[in-house]
Structure formats: C-alpha cells, structure tokens
Amino acid sequence: MLATMTFTAGSHLLGGSLFLSAMAGLLPLLVFFVLLGAFGVKTHWCAIISLGVSLLVAVLGFKMPVTYALLAGTEGIALGLMPILYIIIAAVWLYNLTERSGRSADVRMAFNLVGKGDQRVLALLIGFSFCGLLEGLAGFGAPVAIVAAILVTVGFDPIKAAILTIVGNAINVGFGAIAIPVTTPATSVGLEPATVAAQMGHITPFIAAFVPMILLVIADGMRGLKQLWPAALLVGAVTAGSHYWVTNFFTYELTAVIASLLGLASIAILMQFWTPTTPDDVKADKAEGLTASRAALGLMPYWLVVIVFGVAKLWKIGVDLPALLKSTDYKFGWPGLDGNLLTAAGEPVKATTFTLSTLNSPGTLIILTAIIVSIVYGATSSGGKYPFSFGQGMKLLPTTIYNLRIAILTISTIMALAFVMNLSGQTGAIGLWMAGAGTAFVFISPVLGWIGTAVTGSATSAGALFAGLQNTAAMQIGADPNLLVGANAIGGGIGKIVSPQNLAIASGAIGKEGAEPELLRKAAPISAALLVVLCLIVGLTSTLS
C-alpha cells in the first residue's frame, strides 16, 4: 500500500474486467455531478468529496500505493495554483482596476459613441466583442455579470440582455482567462497547449463567424439581421480569422483578447463610413462629454495587455526576449512520483514533470500590466473626475485574492482530483472502455465538455476532469488527442450557455433573480444547435485529417 516500488497505471483491472474498472473510474465523477446537480451541494464541497472518492478508488481498486495517490493530488494542487490560479488572480485584478477607478463608465460611453445610438450595434460591440475581451482577460463569470448589466443600461430588455450575453460569450470561453481552459487540460495529460489551441483555431472560426448574426436575431428579429447584416458579417469574419491566426501564428493565450479587440476595431471603422437605419424602438442614448483621452484611459487595461504580451512573445531585436523569459522556467520531477510511475510500455510518465514558469508566465505579464495601469490611473485623474492612487490599485490585489478564495479552493481540488484519476489509471480505463465506440466517439467527444461545463459552470474544470479520458480514447481509436482535448474545451464554452451557475449570474446582473428557468428555455435551443454543429465539424475534421 505504501510506495516501495514502481507503479504502472492500468495494470490492475477490477476483476480483470475493463467494464468494471471503467465504472469504478467513473464513480468520482458520478459523485461530483450527482452532488452538484441533484442535491445542489456547493462546487468546492463536491470537489473535495469526489477527491476523497477518487483516492479510495485509486488505492483500493487500482492498487496505487497510498503515498503515490496522495502525491498525485499534491501535484494537481500545485498545477492549480501555478500557473492556473496565478493567471486568474492577475487577470481579475487587472479588470478590477477599471471598475474600482470608476473608468468603466467611460468604457460604456465609448461604446455608445461608436454605435451611433443603435442598440443592435451595441449588441455586437458589447454582447460579442467586449464580452469576449473580458472573457479573454478574466473569465469565471465576470464577463457575463458585467456585460448583461451594461446592455440593460443602454436600453435592452433585461431578459434579452442576458440571452445576448450568454450566447455572445460562448465561443470565447474555451480561450477564457488567458486560455486557461486550454492550458489546464493539455498540461494535465502531457500535451502541448499551443498544439491543442492550434487545433481549436481550425474549428472555432466556423462558429464565431455566425454568432453575430444569431445575436442580431435575438436583439431585433429578422429586421435586425436585414438592417445590420454588414456589421455582423464583418465582425464575424474578423473574429473568426483572428481565432485562426492567433492560435496558429501568434500566442494562443491571447486568442479571445486579440480577436475581440480586432472585432471592436472593425465595427468602429465600419461605423465611420456607414450609418444603419435605426428605428425609434432600438435607439440608445448617445454619449456626451467623453474625451479621447478618457476613452483611451478607460480601455487602457485591454490594449496595454496586448502590447505587453506582444513584446514578450515577439521581441527579438537585440535580444531574443521570448527565449530569455522562457529560460527562467524551472522544470523538475515531482518529488516521490517522477520515475516511479510508468506507462504500459515501461517508460516514466511525463505528467510527473512539473514546469514552474516565473517571468514567462502569462500571470507575470498581466501583473506587470496591472502595475503600469495602477501607476497611470494614480497619476491621471482626468480633471479630478476619477481620483485614484497607486496604493489603492495595490490594495485591490489582496482583495481580489480574498474574493476568489472559493474559486481557488475549488480549482485546486479539482486539479488534485484530475491528477489522482489520471495517474492511477481511472481516466485511462474510462477512455479505453469508451473507445469501444470506435470512430463514432470523435463525433460525440464535444458532448463531454458540454455536459461537464453545463454542470460545473467552468470549462476549466470540465477540461481537467475529461482531458485524460479524451486523450486515452483518441489514442485508442487513432484520432488526434489534441483535437479531442480542444473539442472538449470548445464544447465547454457552448455548454456554459445553459450552466445553472451562469444563468444565476446573468439573472442577478439584470436584477431579475429567479429568471433562470426563462433564460434556460430561450437559450437551450441555441446551445443545442451550436453543439450539433460543433460535433459535425469535429467529426469531419478528424475524418479528413
């Protein structure tokens, strides 16, 4: 029972049966989803209880030494803290600077100015592009809460504002919070996150291109689509093309950020040369008194983070900055596990090698951006309208950490659960069993991400839970693991449309607590339709590749 020898995951099947082993491996996930969905237990308690179940299954069912099982959990916790939660905390802190300084009001005015007082244009600007920008930076419910409230303030019916937000947000969820839903599952199964993201970048454009048209129909029916289709077509094409370019040729962490910024810019440019027909019932208040400097300062956290990342990832004049930053990464074998866990081929498991990123971490780059923003906001109050100090900016960091305490506990525990399941062979057994569906599994693989996020409310959590299963099944049926792990993340974004947690956040933001059933009835058909399209795209991609 203790660590006295090497351990090979999957070498011990319950009763010699793959089916029984898969059912045992599913038990922690079953406990998690039943507690959460049927009994309404808080997510962090679901994760803690399920972790305990997975440890028991690993030790008693899969014969993993107790020491190794516990150490697997500690490695998962460490990965949850660094880099995942490090990035999340930094991103939410950066967003909070805009809110706490009061400059978010100027952000809203800037959108009104660009949209020429047309609510349908604002649905595209705010509900799609700005929401995607916030998702790319912060994620974890913040974009839905913020954007739904903004859409109500510019004149949208509250229910319609919530539907616009949760649908417009979906395609960027897979790249949310500096692409944590990509980094987390890829890293947990030893895949290269950039490769997974590149596969996603071949799929998401086909959906992103049409989401703006869906939003116009939600906002104003077929009249809205007829009158605003040039704007929808442009922002959809720009966002789709950016998803492909950023994931394949730039830095995947900024996919949602750059695609959304370029989408915003495309509409802003179009509106300089084109004025749509705006019926009286869809007119919004026009912005008054907003100066260019205030607009630039309000949007500073968003354009500055792109510049910082761009320099860090591309600067090679005089000094190869990307290589220099990457050289500060520290790789080491997880103590007690590295070299002691073996694959079926007798080789050491790669997942026991831990990479600690310091200067090269996206979290560090976001923190640098936040510090600069704090300095500028403290030095410039825009004529006394927005008094702020550098000290206030710094005090926001511990406040942000405190406010995220439950998310920190939940994500750390879920990562521990994922590592115990992966390294003990539980997810491997599930994957081998599901691979019995053959190539048909490819078509249904996004459904796992959809279900996982619909239940947990987090594409990151769904990725951590199902990445091992997707990876194992892909290898068994000869599919590309990068494709299926990526499809899991995209499916998770679509599943977030109907997530109870997401619906609750939207209901609270529009001031209509208890509106979740109505939101679900109106959003579920859209989510289901997008999921079917995604499954077909993933299946065809795998078949043609």
**Residue 455 pLDDT level (bands cut at 50, 70, 90):** low
When mean pLDDT is compared across 198-202, 226-230, 443-447, the lowest value belongs to 443-447
What the block records as the tokens of 467 is 């990445």
pLDDT of residue 302: 80
Dump pLDDT digits (tens) for 192-216. Answer: 999 999 999 999 999 999 999 999 9
Does residue 191 have a pLDDT over 70?
yes
Q: How far is CA 192 from CA 182, 187, 253, 338, 351, in A?
A: 10, 7, 13, 19, 12
pLDDT of residue 324: 94
pLDDT of residue 404: 84
**Phi, psi of 428, deg, nearest 5:** -65, -40
Question: Per mean pLDDT, which of 106-115, 261-270, 506-515 is the most reliable?
Answer: 261-270
Q: How far is CA 43 from CA 47, 148, 315, 424, 449, in A?
A: 6, 24, 42, 23, 17
What the block records as the tokens of 72 is 């697997």
* Alpha-carbon span 7 to 74, nearest angstrom: 17
Does residue 225 have a pLDDT over 80?
yes
| CA terminus-to-terminus distance, the chain | 45
List CB contacts of 405: < 8 A, sequence separation 6 or more.
none
As beta bridge partners, residue 355 has 331
- Dihedral sign for Cα atoms in the order 266, 272, 277, 278: positive
* Alpha-carbon span 126 to 128, nearest angstrom: 6
The distance of Cα 417 from the centroid of its chain, to the nearest Å, equals: 19
Does residue 226 have a pLDDT over 70?
yes
Q: DSSP letter string over 97-134?
A: HHHHHTTHHHHHHHHHHHTTTBHHHHHHIIIIIIHHHH
When mean pLDDT is compared across 148-162, 368-382, 486-500, the lowest value belongs to 148-162
Over residues 9-25, the mean pLDDT reads 85
CB-side exposure of 143: number of CA atoms within 13 Å? 33
Over residues 128-141, the mean pLDDT reads 85
Contact indicator for 392, 116 with CB cutoff of 8 Å: no
Over residues 397-419, the mean pLDDT reads 87
When mean pLDDT is compared across 17-31, 54-68, 235-249, 455-469, the lowest value belongs to 455-469
- Of all residues in the chain, the percent with pLDDT exceeding 70 is 97
Does residue 460 have a pLDDT over 90?
no
Dump pLDDT digits (tens) for 268-324. Answer: 999 999 999 889 888 876 667 788 899 899 889 888 887 888 888 778 899 999 899
Burial class (CB in 10 A: 0-12, 13-18, 19+), 292: exposed
* Alpha-carbon span 340 to 348, nearest angstrom: 7
Query: Which residue has better confidence, 279 or 430?
Result: 279
Residue type, 17: S
Residue (of 93, 96, 112) closest to 104 by Cα position = 96
Does residue 3 have a pLDDT over 60?
no
Cis peptide before 83 (omega within 30 of 0): yes
Q: DSSP letter string over 144-176?
A: HHHHHHHHHHTT--HHHHHHHHHHHHGGGGGGH
Mean pLDDT of the chain: 89
pLDDT of residue 292: 87
* Alpha-carbon span 164 to 217, nearest angstrom: 10
Burial class (CB in 10 A: 0-12, 13-18, 19+), 345: exposed
CB atoms near residue 521 (< 10 Å):
9
* Alpha-carbon span 274 to 114, nearest angstrom: 11
CB atoms near residue 326 (< 10 Å):
13
* Alpha-carbon span 491 to 103, nearest angstrom: 34
**Residue 71 pLDDT level (bands cut at 50, 70, 90):** very high
- Dihedral sign for Cα atoms in the order 156, 301, 241, 246: negative
Strands 7-8 and 341-342: parallel
**Residue 96 pLDDT level (bands cut at 50, 70, 90):** confident
Our CA angle for 40, 448, 80, nearest 5°, is 70
- Of all residues in the chain, the percent with pLDDT exceeding 90 is 49
pLDDT of residue 534: 97
* Alpha-carbon span 81 to 127, nearest angstrom: 31
Over residues 123-142, the mean pLDDT reads 87
The distance of Cα 380 from the centroid of its chain, to the nearest Å, equals: 33
Does residue 456 have a pLDDT over 90?
no
* Alpha-carbon span 111 to 286, nearest angstrom: 9
List CB contacts of 359: < 8 A, sequence separation 6 or more.
325, 328
Report the predicted TM-score, pTM, of the whole model to 2 decimal places.
0.78
Q: How far is CA 130 from CA 110, 140, 313, 399, in A?
A: 12, 15, 24, 25
pLDDT of residue 2: 56
pLDDT of residue 316: 86
pLDDT of residue 512: 80
